[in-house]
């Protein structure tokens, strides 16, 4: 990679991980989408996973995410099962049509967060997480796994489930370890298929300082924004994801 490309990736990573610290999710939307315009998408995806792990560990320790370990493991089981089902479904489901339908559903959810879910009385600010998720949570995790297996996008169902139940701090505290586990699993697979090269690790190391600047700035903003603004940001990101999916389908 040239110096110009690396410099551009620094700026993109700063924005991407500002979003990550602000909401608990979303860096791939920024880093992979924009980074792939500058370098090989495969290289950008691998670098992104390494950065996700570095950023995820920082936020996990900051939020003390181990507090809800049993709850998260219970969600991970249907998510993993859903992922396998999604991968298998690639052979039998008309993916383009299904992706367009899913994009419309995500767009509606985004509008719901952005416009309809605004008054303080409508917003749950609960910080109390049960020992185990309810059936709705398990279903959302399974659906997220299926969509992740089909399209590589697993976040929206579980983001919706957390986003309308818990406070912004709790949402991030739950999302960060889930996506950290996912990133570690993906990196392990990449290593097993010899896809990770030394230049990926070196490039990620070069970008890490910008990542931490973004995380620190995003965390500062996360503390300051209201519950209403937090959910409006979630809505905006979901709408961006849905538009991207729709035009890819």
Among 127, 131, 106, 77, which Cα is nearest to 227's? 127
Q: Residue 180's closest CA among 53, 10, 93?
A: 53
Residue-level pLDDT at 161: 87
Q: Phi and psi for 115 in degrees, rounded to 5? A: -115, -50
Tokens 């969509």, residue? 147
φ, ψ (nearest 5 deg) of residue 10: -60, -45
Outline where DSSP puts E strands in the chain: none
For residue 224, the enclosing domain spans 3-248
Structurally, the chain folds into a number of domains equal to: 1
Mean pLDDT by 10 residues, the chain (249 residues): 91 94 83 86 89 93 81 88 78 72 83 68 67 91 81 77 85 87 84 91 96 96 88 86 78
Here the tokens at position 107 are 């767009």
| pLDDT on residue 125 | 61
pLDDT value for 120: 45
pTM: 0.79
Interatomic CA distance for residues 1 and 155, integer angstroms: 30
How far apart, in Å, are the Cα atoms of 180 and each of 74, 111, 124, 224?
16, 27, 25, 24
The residue assigned the tokens 């990550």 is 20
| Surface-to-core class of residue 50, CB atoms within 10 Å of its CB (0-12 exposed, 13-18 middle, 19+ buried) | buried
| pLDDT of the residue at 90 | 65
Q: Tell me the three-class secondary structure of 102-139, residue by residue.
A: HHHHHHHHHHHHHHHCCCHHHCCCECCCCCCCCHHHHH
Task: For residue 228, give every residue at least 6 positions away whose Cβ sits within 8 Å of its Cβ, in sequence order, or none.
Answer: 118, 120, 123
């Amino acid at each position: 990679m040239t110096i110009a490309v690396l410099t551009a990736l620094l700026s993109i990573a700063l924005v991407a991980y500002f979003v990550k610290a602000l909401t608990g999710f979303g860096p791939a939307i920024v880093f992979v989408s924009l980074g792939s315009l500058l370098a090989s998408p495969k290289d950008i995806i691998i670098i992104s996973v390494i950065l996700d792990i570095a950023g995820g560990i920082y936020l996990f320790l900051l939020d003390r995410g181990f507090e809800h370990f049993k709850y998260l493991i219970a969600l991970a089981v249907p998510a993993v099962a859903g992922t396998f089902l999604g991968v298998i479904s690639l052979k039998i489901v008309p993916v383009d049509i299904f992706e367009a339908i899913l994009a419309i559903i995500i767009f509606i959810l985004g509008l719901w967060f952005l416009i309809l879910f605004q008054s303080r009385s409508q917003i749950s600010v609960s910080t109390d997480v049960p020992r185990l998720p309810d059936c709705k949570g398990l279903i959302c995790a399974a659906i997220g796994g299926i969509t992740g297996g089909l399209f590589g996008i697993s976040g929206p169902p579980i983001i919706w489930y957390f986003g309308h139940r818990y406070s912004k701090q709790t949402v991030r505290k739950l999302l960060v370890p889930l996506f950290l586990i996912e990133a570690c699993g993906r990196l392990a697979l990449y290593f097993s298929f010899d896809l990770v090269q030394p230049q990926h690790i070196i490039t990620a190391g070069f970008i890490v300082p910008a990542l931490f600047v973004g995380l620190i700035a995003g965390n500062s903003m996360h503390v300051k924004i209201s519950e209403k603004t937090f959910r409006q940001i979630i809505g905006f990101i979901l709408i961006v994801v849905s538009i991207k999916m729709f035009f890819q389908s």
